[in-house]
Chains A and B, each alone.
Chain A
Amino acid sequence: MSEAMDRPAKILIVEDEFLISLDLRMQLSKMGYQVCTLAGSGEEAVQIAAQETPDVVLMDLHLAGEIDGLVASRQIVAQTGAAILFMTGYIGEDTGRDIETLQPLACLVKPIRIREVHEAISAWLEQKVAIKPDRSLDALNESATS
């Protein structure tokens, strides 16, 4: 994980509304995040995650296509260990519990604000550092400043 600290966090955006994904990419890039190839479906997301190993996946829960956001997230977590940040139009009662098993950074309700995405990722990074006592002080400082 220390490598992650040497470069900006890499984010995979999974969103079937193309124009929304364009918007998210623009805003995240402006904030200095590295953004992977845009994924418009669950299948694409799994494929791109395998190739580009994102740190965080910004995942739309309700995707058009054969597999939805939850299924795609499970596969990605199992394959790459990436952290998941869900976006959804609404949270159904059934998906709520399923989501928890993946321990997502957050579940943001659309329309999302890019600030919320940033805060969730920052908090996650801080927590990671805190539970790793063997981390070098340098790394700690670096993460705190970024």
Chain B
Amino acid sequence: MVQELETNTILLIEDDPGTALLVQEKLEEVGCHSACVTTGKAAMGWLAQNRPRLVLLDYSLPDVSGIELVEKLAAAPGGMPPFIVTTGMGDERVAVAMMKRGARDYLVKDASFLDSLPRVVEQALKQIAVERRLAEMEQALRDRENRLRTIFETSHAGIILVNPQGVITYANQRMADLFGCSLGELIGSTYPEHVHPDQRYAGDQKMRQLIAGEIDAVALERHYIRKDGSDFWGFLSGRRQEDEAGNLVSLVGVISDITERKLMEAERITLLERLNLATRAAGLGIWDWDVQRNELVWDDQMYELYGVRREDFPGAYESWLARVHPDDRAAGEEVSLQARRGETEYDTEFRIIRPDGAVRVIKAYGKVTRGESGNPLRMTGVNYDITEWKHAEQVLRESEARYRAIFEGVQDAIFVETPAGKILDANQRACEMYGYSREQFLGMPVARLVAPGSSLVLPRSLSGAGMLEHPIETANLRANGERFPVELSCSVQNVDGEPVMLVVVRDITERKRAEEALRESEARLRTLINAMPDIVCFKDGRGRWLEANEFDLKLFQLTGVDYRGKKDSELADFSQFYRDAFLTCEETDERAWQAGGASRGEETIPRQDGPPLVFDVIKVPTFTLGNQRQGLVVVGRDITDLKRAEQDLRTALVEKEVLLRELYHRTKNNMQVISALLNLEAARDENQALRKTLLDMDNRIRSMALVHQKLYQSQNLSSIDLKDYLSDLANLLLATYQVDPGRITLRLEAESVPVLIDSAVPCGLVINEILSNALKYAFPGGREGEIKIRLSRSAQGMIRLEIADNGVGVPPGVDIRHKDTLGVQIITGVAGRQLGAKVEVDTSHGVAWCIQFEDNRYRPRV
């Protein structure tokens, strides 16, 4: 806190105001601003808030001695700022004591006090400034040193400093590891003793030049020896470290272990040597071609290579060419020609076809011998079979191509990264996915691909520990800033001894979208199902509940119960009241399973707070392809109200039926009352004509009353059987007219014909009229005869009624249809007009009426 308040001010601690004023004026003259306090306590307070460049401390203060104050301030957080002590005359001893406690200088308040003040102060200030600059430099140096030390100590290469005498003065831990000894052993040893004896002087030349300053740096492959006697190859890069005058201070050496590489090189050399030996021993063919004379001479090995017998080989250039694979001939000739022209070495490969058909790859090498004018005289060279090599190379190339194809061809982006997350390589798919070119990717920190809020995945250690065992889902950024979901897996691989990170990224935008869409549609479906005032429940193949809607849960008091995965019998424990209902449900489920298809039934579900409810329950089982039980959908609708309404309706209907029957009954009774009245009237009257009229009226009323009687006796209350009616009415009339059944025979041939009430009454009136006429007029004077009644109905619905008597008939020339009697008017008018019937009458033998009508003029009313 104190440092923050550092100022240019000089603090004056002086208890004498006069002196203070003079000192301040003097300081002002030399451009120094000052502040003044008069006591030690005030000084402490001021210094707690401010940091002066310099303090002028009066040794003798009223509250505290100078020594005490300095000691207190030195212990305070900011420490004692630089100070100069002022003392009174004769206090020089005190001044010395203060100098020991860090005072820069002292001033005695004598006559020259004010004059010498500026010089002393300025000198102190200058000294302070220099000290400060030095301190800053030291700090910077320390920082740099720290940085370098960090680099040295964490470097993968060994680093040493060697003084001009060859003694190692500094080394990092890696260096000690390389040399197989401790740091203590390494430092102080000489550099040459670590160099392998076979090389101890090999690099001397270069090193001497480096030490002499003729060159600045060396880069050498050196063979070193470890403490335990084993050896290793190191790549040394050495550099001079000079002082400001350009004198050598030390040599800086950076050594990295290249043993692996050297070993591989050595391996390669030996391999080649071995191969040469082998080919030489097994089949290096030598050829010699006299270009001028076109004579080609082969040694035995050549014949072996080409599989040709000496006697079969003509020994010319063309005979060789003939053995070359047709596809390689042009190129082969070209190389040969170029060699003869001196444009290239004769160093080529071509395929040959042996007589047995085998194709071999031949490596050929040759030299051209030229004449004085430079014209080619002859070519001499070797051939050897490299088929197996080529094959191996081919396999390698194919394998590489395959990996490359996989690398490029996969749907996933693949990155090769350093363990620190810097991109080393990226495949084509990565470019497409992120919108960067491969060049842009190279060297890019992978963090740039990570979307804000998503975590960057980097290995915690190079062994791969802490890496993802399973792919994770996270979000990445494309070049255009678009955020997209990815599935990411990564692993640490050791490639050529270097740990690299392989990151495989899959764009799962589509998958996410599909998942989202699925979730949405599921949510919609669930909302829908929950909104339904019906039971909806899904169960699995073993009857365990998967999903039920709110209505279902509420109905069975399962709200808040973790019902999923439980069977009805298990859920019974949660809802004691519905125990039986659950157990019954399991039974009906089983029946649905066994039925194998949708089943439907009514289920009565009791309630604690009201009458039981009736549900129309549909159960639909589903089966797997293997016909195993897969799931069961249960849907139930509350049909309690429906059932009640149905019941009410049924009751109402029964009531109405009773009422209607009663109505018909009363109508019939009323008509009987009318009939009785007419009879009473007729009996009182002496007038025969009137009595006859009243009797006719009585019959007509009774014919109508009979319709109502038949109606209330009928099943459906809306139609009667015309056959029954005919039979009853005929018997009624026979009785009325007191006909002797032996005299007039009634023959009824009828089939059952239902007619509606609206047709039945007019029909009854007509039949009554015809039958009455026949009974009254056809058989006068006790004649015997017969009345035939026929009733039938055609397939088309036409009702045919025939009533024929074999009585006296009508006198010739009389058209019965035009008689102006009410009876005939009823027959022709009511039948013809009201029923829409076709009315025919045949009077050739007696009277025969034929009435045909369709019962379609009225519609059923019930």
Instruction: Tell me, yes or no, whether B825 is within 8 Å of chain A by CB.
Output: yes
User: Among the interface residues B758, B825, B833, B858, which one has the most CB atoms of the partner chain A within 10 A?
Assistant: B833
Q: Assess whether A65 is in contact with B834, with CB atoms less than 8 Å apart.
A: no
Complex Cα distance, B769 from A19, in Å, reads 14
Q: Assess whether B825 is in contact with A17, with CB atoms less than 8 Å apart.
A: no
Pairs across A and B, CB under 8 Å, 20 listed: A16-B834, A17-B834, A18-B762, A18-B829, A18-B830, A18-B833, A18-B834, A19-B765, A19-B826, A19-B829, A19-B830, A22-B825, A22-B829, A38-B833, A40-B833, A40-B834, A64-B758, A64-B857, A64-B858, A65-B857
Per-residue CB proximity of A11-53 to B under 8 Å, as 1/0? 0000011110010000000000000001010000000000000
User: Among the interface residues B762, B825, B834, which one has the most CB atoms of the partner chain A within 10 A?
Assistant: B834
Interface of B: prevailing SS = helix
Complex Cα distance, B833 from A22, in Å, reads 12
A40 closest partner in B (C-beta): B833
Chain A residues contacting B825 (CB-CB under 8 Å) are 22
Chain A residues contacting B762 (CB-CB under 8 Å) are 18
Chain B residues 308-352 with CB under 8 Å of chain A are none
Chain B residues 805-862 with CB under 8 Å of chain A are 825-826, 829-830, 833-834, 857-858
Complex Cα distance, B117 from A113, in Å, reads 151
Interface residues on chain B, size class: 10 to 19
A15 closest partner in B (C-beta): B834
Chain B residues 757-808 with CB under 8 Å of chain A are 758, 762, 765
Chain A residues contacting B765 (CB-CB under 8 Å) are 19
Complex Cα distance, B766 from A18, in Å, reads 12
Chain B residues contacting A22 (CB-CB under 8 Å) are 825, 829
Chain B residues contacting A40 (CB-CB under 8 Å) are 833-834
Chain B residues contacting A64 (CB-CB under 8 Å) are 758, 857-858
Chain A residues contacting B857 (CB-CB under 8 Å) are 64-65
Q: What is the CB-to-nearest-CB distance from A92 to chain B, in angstroms, rounded to a whole number?
A: 15
Given contacts A18-B834, A40-B833, 15 further A-B contacts (CB under 8 A): A16-B834, A18-B829, A18-B830, A18-B833, A19-B765, A19-B826, A19-B829, A19-B830, A22-B825, A22-B829, A38-B833, A40-B834, A64-B758, A64-B857, A64-B858
Per-residue CB proximity of A74-101 to B under 8 Å, as 1/0? 0000000000000000000000000000
Chain A residues contacting B834 (CB-CB under 8 Å) are 16-18, 40
User: Among the interface residues B758, B762, B826, B829, which one has the most CB atoms of the partner chain A within 10 A?
Assistant: B829
Complex Cα distance, B640 from A42, in Å, reads 47
Chain A residues contacting B829 (CB-CB under 8 Å) are 18-19, 22
Complex Cα distance, B833 from A65, in Å, reads 12
Q: What is the CB-to-nearest-CB distance from A8 to chain B, in angstroms, rounded to a whole number?
A: 24
Complex Cα distance, B857 from A18, in Å, reads 14
Chain B residues contacting A18 (CB-CB under 8 Å) are 762, 829-830, 833-834
B831 closest partner in A (C-beta): A18
Complex Cα distance, B765 from A18, in Å, reads 12
Q: What is the CB-to-nearest-CB distance from A17 to chain B, in angstroms, rounded to a whole number?
A: 7
User: Among the interface residues A16, A19, A38, A65, which one has the most CB atoms of the partner chain B within 10 A?
Assistant: A19
Complex Cα distance, B826 from A22, in Å, reads 10
Q: What is the CB-to-nearest-CB distance from B824 to chain A, in angstroms, rounded to a whole number?
A: 12
Q: What is the CB-to-nearest-CB distance from B697 to chain A, in angstroms, rounded to a whole number?
A: 12
Q: What is the CB-to-nearest-CB distance from A35 to chain B, in angstroms, rounded to a whole number?
A: 15
Chain B residues contacting A38 (CB-CB under 8 Å) are 833
Complex Cα distance, B833 from A64, in Å, reads 12
Q: What is the CB-to-nearest-CB distance from B467 to chain A, in angstroms, rounded to a whole number?
A: 86
Chain B residues contacting A19 (CB-CB under 8 Å) are 765, 826, 829-830
Complex Cα distance, B765 from A64, in Å, reads 19
Chain B residues contacting A17 (CB-CB under 8 Å) are 834
Complex Cα distance, B733 from A1, in Å, reads 54
Complex Cα distance, B335 from A114, in Å, reads 139
A17 closest partner in B (C-beta): B834
Per-residue CB proximity of B428-445 to A under 8 Å, as 1/0? 000000000000000000
Q: What is the CB-to-nearest-CB distance from B821 to chain A, in angstroms, rounded to a whole number?
A: 13
Complex Cα distance, B825 from A38, in Å, reads 13
Chain B residues contacting A16 (CB-CB under 8 Å) are 834
Chain A residues contacting B830 (CB-CB under 8 Å) are 18-19
B826 closest partner in A (C-beta): A19
Q: What is the CB-to-nearest-CB distance from A66 to chain B, in angstroms, rounded to a whole number?
A: 10
A18 closest partner in B (C-beta): B834
A16 closest partner in B (C-beta): B834
A38 closest partner in B (C-beta): B833
Complex Cα distance, B858 from A19, in Å, reads 17
Complex Cα distance, B857 from A48, in Å, reads 20
Q: What is the CB-to-nearest-CB distance from A14 to chain B, in angstroms, rounded to a whole number?
A: 12
Complex Cα distance, B833 from A38, in Å, reads 10
Complex Cα distance, B704 from A17, in Å, reads 14
B829 closest partner in A (C-beta): A18
B830 closest partner in A (C-beta): A18
Q: What is the CB-to-nearest-CB distance from B519 to chain A, in angstroms, rounded to a whole number?
A: 55
Chain B residues 488-509 with CB under 8 Å of chain A are none
User: Among the interface residues A16, A18, A19, A38, which one has the most CB atoms of the partner chain B within 10 A?
Assistant: A18
Chain A residues contacting B826 (CB-CB under 8 Å) are 19
Q: What is the CB-to-nearest-CB distance from A85 to chain B, in angstroms, rounded to a whole number?
A: 22
Chain A residues contacting B758 (CB-CB under 8 Å) are 64
Q: What is the CB-to-nearest-CB distance from A2 to chain B, in angstroms, rounded to a whole number?
A: 36
B828 closest partner in A (C-beta): A18
Q: What is the CB-to-nearest-CB distance from A39 to chain B, in angstroms, rounded to a whole number?
A: 10
Q: What is the CB-to-nearest-CB distance from B719 to chain A, in angstroms, rounded to a whole number?
A: 16
Complex Cα distance, B858 from A65, in Å, reads 7
Complex Cα distance, B220 from A86, in Å, reads 133
Complex Cα distance, B826 from A84, in Å, reads 28
Q: What is the CB-to-nearest-CB distance from B13 to chain A, in angstroms, rounded to a whole number?
A: 118
Complex Cα distance, B857 from A27, in Å, reads 28
Chain B residues contacting A65 (CB-CB under 8 Å) are 857
Complex Cα distance, B822 from A19, in Å, reads 10
Complex Cα distance, B829 from A22, in Å, reads 9
Chain A residues contacting B833 (CB-CB under 8 Å) are 18, 38, 40
Complex Cα distance, B833 from A83, in Å, reads 25
Complex Cα distance, B765 from A47, in Å, reads 28
Complex Cα distance, B825 from A16, in Å, reads 15
Complex Cα distance, B857 from A40, in Å, reads 11
Q: What is the CB-to-nearest-CB distance from A72 to chain B, in angstroms, rounded to a whole number?
A: 16
Complex Cα distance, B835 from A40, in Å, reads 10
B765 closest partner in A (C-beta): A19
A19 closest partner in B (C-beta): B830
